[in-house]
């Protein structure tokens, strides 16, 4: 059995096997060499590619949003800052019983089903390790309640976030604008890398215009994550750089005063420092609280703002196109003088109306009896319509429009705020395009008194008055006064941008027109003489009363019989002091009636507020009270009175 005899040749079989084994050994080597070549390809020639891929796998860059820059007024009063907000949040992976926890949380805290739904929705979208906010703006009470019961809600925690805050509420809201949650449209406009961690972006006003300065530079944190996205450790970090702090040219004292004075009307006030183009105040009424927008305005609030017929969201100072009325007469006079159409001494006979030769239509003067023989000076301070009908008619529309455009009408001033309107300085071409009609000479006549198609924004008016105050020197109006890059560095002033001067070269013309404007307020028969009375400085002004609708040839304007919306707009423009102007302003109060009655007194109060040193006023008050020291009872009475009044006053109203 052990050695079976076969026909096989052991030796041959051994040889056969050995040769096969050698071939196999060679083939094995070749096959494994091929695999090794593949390894070489992966580990040497494509090493960099796979290293990058590997890093892509496990390195996650987490953006750290920068702190938004603060906004101050020119004196360093805070207008917009960031305050700390407490939120309740949780990551899906950290909560074992999400359903039960939410149910118990709703019993503990006033969490609405809407908040819960939003939370659940975000949980689904976000990574399981990323915390999602359940409740924002936790009150102290809520925080305390939660902290006591925190053991019942493993995984839920209170976190701190920065939220934009406007401490003064509605003050200067149109100017400041507001921030809101970033949407897809916003992201298209900015470097999305810089905004990865940012939740809010400037939506209007300064917040929007200077978004790039306010936002700052995002930082980041590189962390190591595993395949499930769970963070392991921090690999690198780059701190964010806070946004720049902005100092606006706004004088908060003047701004608040302006808002107070026009709060009963829809309207706007714009005040500019003619020396450098700094906007000192820009008020628009009615207004709104920008804080409402910061964390997503509720539908109810937004709808209320949107559907309000007074349009509180709309910045009348920049966007309101109003017929400027008689406030443009000084500018009209200047271009008339420069064109040689009128001279300072020439006069026109005002018989209460103006007629184009060969036409029976009467362009009426506000004074039915007429001004009689009237010169330029008196035409301004008495606001004679006929004089300016005649001036515009004789200049012709082309020369008139061109001249007025030099004062900035019909074009943007270029102020550093978004959504500025051009309003309208009409031309025959414009009318043909807009209405497909010819230009009538009557259209030109109406423009002479700032009516007809001619409209202007309050900002344009204030700017035009500033140009007069400057004798034709033009400076672009602007709101940003200074910038502070870091808290440790001094703020850097913004250089005003000078524009080419107006081509009215004769100093005399300026003086003649300004004399007329001074007489408006200081002259015995000036239209706003009551507002000029008792002023401690001399100022120049011009009233305006703009018709909102046309009155038929044979009818007269009777406010009591008209709906409020059809009442005249009251306008006033002014600059002061006359010899060294420091402030130029324009006021419009919609449907408020006459400019001299409503707008001029407001202007006077604003000029007083700005030009008279408030400290001096206080000193004067004290001086008056000091002699009464001798009488103790009186002191006490006074003290009590003062304390009472001080208590009533809100903090910001310092004078």
From 223-231, 404-412, 445-453, 546-554, span contacting other proteins (CB under 8 A): 223-231
CA dist 391 and 329 (Å) reads: 10
Among 58, 349, 435, 549, binds other proteins (CB under 8 A): 58
Residues making up the chain, counted from first to last: 655
Decide the pairing of beta strands 59-64 and 219-225: antiparallel
5 binds other proteins (CB under 8 A): no
Q: Which is nearer to other proteins, 43 or 486 (CB)?
A: 43
Beta bridge partners of 87: 159
233 binds other proteins (CB under 8 A): no
Task: Quote the least distance from Cβ 11 to other proteins, whole Å.
Answer: 11
Buried/exposed 519-550: b ≥16 CB within 10 Å, e otherwise:
bbbbbeebbbbebbeebeeebbbbbbbbbeee
Task: Quote the least distance from Cβ 238 to other proteins, whole Å.
Answer: 22
From 15-23, 197-205, 350-358, 492-500, span contacting other proteins (CB under 8 A): 15-23
From 28-36, 78-86, 395-403, 562-570, span contacting other proteins (CB under 8 A): 28-36
Among 97, 191, 226, 429, binds other proteins (CB under 8 A): 226
CA dist 609 and 470 (Å) reads: 22
Kindly name the residue from 173, 326, 375, 401 that is annotated as catalytic: 326
Among 5, 35, 125, 624, binds other proteins (CB under 8 A): 35
47 binds other proteins (CB under 8 A): yes
Q: CB of 350 within 8 A of CB of 384?
A: yes
Q: CB of 504 within 8 A of CB of 493?
A: no
From 22-30, 125-133, 277-285, 497-505, span contacting other proteins (CB under 8 A): 22-30
Beta bridge partners of 238: 220
CA dist 272 and 206 (Å) reads: 17
Q: Which is nearer to other proteins, 57 or 643 (CB)?
A: 57
Q: How far apart are the first and last CA of the chain?
A: 128
CA dist 288 and 203 (Å) reads: 15
Task: Quote the least distance from Cβ 3 to other proteins, whole Å.
Answer: 10
Task: Quote the least distance from Cβ 35 to other proteins, whole Å.
Answer: 5
From 221-229, 274-282, 383-391, 533-541, span contacting other proteins (CB under 8 A): 221-229
Task: Quote the least distance from Cβ 91 to other proteins, whole Å.
Answer: 19
Q: Show the CA angle centred on residue 644, arms to residues 638 and 645, nearest 5°.
A: 90
Decide the pairing of beta strands 372-375 and 363-364: unpaired
Among 114, 227, 552, 624, binds other proteins (CB under 8 A): 227
Q: CB of 406 within 8 A of CB of 503?
A: yes
Closest alpha carbon to 425 in 397, 393, 396: 397
CA dist 276 and 265 (Å) reads: 30
39 binds other proteins (CB under 8 A): yes
Task: Quote the least distance from Cβ 129 to other proteins, whole Å.
Answer: 14
Other CB atoms within a 10 A radius of the CB of residue 246 amount to 26
CA dist 308 and 302 (Å) reads: 10
DSSP string, 531-550: HHTT-SS--EEEEEEE-SSP
Is 401 part of the annotated catalytic residue set? no
Closest alpha carbon to 195 in 181, 176, 175: 181
Q: Which is nearer to other proteins, 121 or 232 (CB)?
A: 232
From 42-50, 84-92, 307-315, 501-509, span contacting other proteins (CB under 8 A): 42-50
Q: CB of 82 within 8 A of CB of 257?
A: no
234 binds other proteins (CB under 8 A): no
Task: Quote the least distance from Cβ 54 to other proteins, whole Å.
Answer: 4
Task: Quote the least distance from Cβ 221 to other proteins, whole Å.
Answer: 17
Q: Which is nearer to other proteins, 25 or 637 (CB)?
A: 25
Q: How many residues bind other proteins (CB under 8 A)?
A: 41
Q: Which residues bind other proteins (CB under 8 A)?
A: 6-8, 10, 12-14, 16-18, 20-21, 24-25, 28-29, 31-32, 35-36, 38-40, 42-44, 46-47, 49-51, 53-54, 57-58, 224-228, 232
Catalytic positions, written as ranges = 326
């Amino acid at each position: 059995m052990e050695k079976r005899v076969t026909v096989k040749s052991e030796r041959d079989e051994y040889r056969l096997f050995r040769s096969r084994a050698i071939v196999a050994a060679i083939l094995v080597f070749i096959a494994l060499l091929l695999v090794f070549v593949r390894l070489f390809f992966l580990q040497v020639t494509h090493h960099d590619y796979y290293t990058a891929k590997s890093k892509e796998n496990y390195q996650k860059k987490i953006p750290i949003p920068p702190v938004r820059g603060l906004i101050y007024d020119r004196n360093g009063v805070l207008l917009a800052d960031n305050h700390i907000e407490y939120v309740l949040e949780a990551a899906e992976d950290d909560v074992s019983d999400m359903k039960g926890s939410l149910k118990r949380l709703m019993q503990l805290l006033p969490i609405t089903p809407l908040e819960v739904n939003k939370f659940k929705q975000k949980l689904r979208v976000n990574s399981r390790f990323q915390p999602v906010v359940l409740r924002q703006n936790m009150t102290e009470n809520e925080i305390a309640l939660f902290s006591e019961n925190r053991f019942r809600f493993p995984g839920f925690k209170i976190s701190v976030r920065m939220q934009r805050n406007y401490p003064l509420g509605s003050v200067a809201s149109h100017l400041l604008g507001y921030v809101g949650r970033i949407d897809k449209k916003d992201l298209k406009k900015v470097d999305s890398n810089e905004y990865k961690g940012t939740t809010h972006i400037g939506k209007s006003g300064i917040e929007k215009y200077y978004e790039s300065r306010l936002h700052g530079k995002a930082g980041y944190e590189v962390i190591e994550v595993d395949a499930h996205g769970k963070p392991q450790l921090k690999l690198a970090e780059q701190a964010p750089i806070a946004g720049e702090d902005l100092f606006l040219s706004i004088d908060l004292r003047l701004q608040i005063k302006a808002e107070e004075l026009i709060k009963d009307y829809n309207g706007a006030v714009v005040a500019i420092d003619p020396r450098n183009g700094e906007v000192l105040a820009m008020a628009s009424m009615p207004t709104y609280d920008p804080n409402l927008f910061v964390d997503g305005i509720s539908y109810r609030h937004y709808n209320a703002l949107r559907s309000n017929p007074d349009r509180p969201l709309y910045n009348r100072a920049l966007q309101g196109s109003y017929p400027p009325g008689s406030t443009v007469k000084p500018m009209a006079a200047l271009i008339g003088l420069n064109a040689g159409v009128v001279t300072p001494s020439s006069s026109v006979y005002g018989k209460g109306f103006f007629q184009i030769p060969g036409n029976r239509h009467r362009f009426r003067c506000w004074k039915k009896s007429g001004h009689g023989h009237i010169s330029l000076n008196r035409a301004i301070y008495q606001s004679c319509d006929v004089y300016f009908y005649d001036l515009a008619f004789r200049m012709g529309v082309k020369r008139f429009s061109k001249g007025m455009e030099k004062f900035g009408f019909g074009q943007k001033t270029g102020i550093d705020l978004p959504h500025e309107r051009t309003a309208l300085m009409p031309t025959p071409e414009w009318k043909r395009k807009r209405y497909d009609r010819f230009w009538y000479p009557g259209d030109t006549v109406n423009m002479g008194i700032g009516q007809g198609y001619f409209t202007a924004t309050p900002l344009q008016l204030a700017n035009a008055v500033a140009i007069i105050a400057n004798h034709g020197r033009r400076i672009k109006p602007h709101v940003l006064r200074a910038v502070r890059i870091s808290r440790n560095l001094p703020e850097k002033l913004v250089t005003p941008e000078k524009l080419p001067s107006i081509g009215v070269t004769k100093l005399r013309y300026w003086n003649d027109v300004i004399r007329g404007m001074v007489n408006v307020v200081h002259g015995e028969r000036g239209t706003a003489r009551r507002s000029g009375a008792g002023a401690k400085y001399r100022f120049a002004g011009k009233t305006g009363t703009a018709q909102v609708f046309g009155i038929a040839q044979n009818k007269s304007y009777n406010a009591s019989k008209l709906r409020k919306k059809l009442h005249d707009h009251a306008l006033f423009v002014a600059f002061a002091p006359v010899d060294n102007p420091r402030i130029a302003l324009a006021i419009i109060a919609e449907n408020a009636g006459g400019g001299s009655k409503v707008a001029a007194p407001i202007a006077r109060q604003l000029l007083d507020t700005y030009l008279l040193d408030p400290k001096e006023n206080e000193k004067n008050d004290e001086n008056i009270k000091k002699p009464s020291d001798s009488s103790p009872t009186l002191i006490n009475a006074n003290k009590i009175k003062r304390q009472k009044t001080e208590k009533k006053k809100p903090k910001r109203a310092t004078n």
